[in-house]
């Protein structure tokens, strides 16, 4: 049970005890579809975040490989320019 649901249940219970009205069943029937809708939205968001995390991870790996290749290329270029200085 979520914190919001617990707070709502407490409010309903307090309301019932102060007013003497019996509405727990109707409140529960109204909240079930809302809860299901919220769960569905959360699941959709979770799936979107998982997809975004996967794309980010793939991009980070690609970037890391490209960076390593550029560093090797730079080191090779610097090494060649240093050796050409000493050869001439």
Q: Which of 15, 37, 12, 17 is nearest to 27 (CA)?
A: 12
pTM metric for this prediction: 0.49
What pLDDT, on a 0 to 100 scale, did the predictor assign at position 81? 74
What pLDDT, on a 0 to 100 scale, did the predictor assign at position 67? 96
Q: Which of 12, 45, 15, 7 is nearest to 29 (CA)?
A: 12
Please list, in sequence order, all residues whose beta carbon lies within 8 angstroms of the beta carbon of residue 16, skipping any fewer than 6 positions away: 22, 23, 24
Q: How confident is the model at residue 48 (pLDDT cuts 50, 70, 90)?
A: very high
């Amino acid at each position: 049970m979520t914190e919001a649901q617990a707070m709502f249940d407490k409010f309903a219970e307090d309301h019932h005890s102060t007013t003497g009205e019996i509405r727990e069943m109707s409140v529960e029937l109204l909240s079930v579809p809302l809860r299901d809708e919220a769960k569905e939205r959360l699941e959709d968001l979770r799936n979107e975040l998982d997809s975004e995390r996967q794309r980010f991870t793939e991009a980070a790996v690609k970037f890391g490989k490209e960076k390593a290749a550029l560093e090797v290329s730079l080191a090779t270029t610097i090494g060649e320019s240093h050796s050409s200085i000493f050869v001439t």
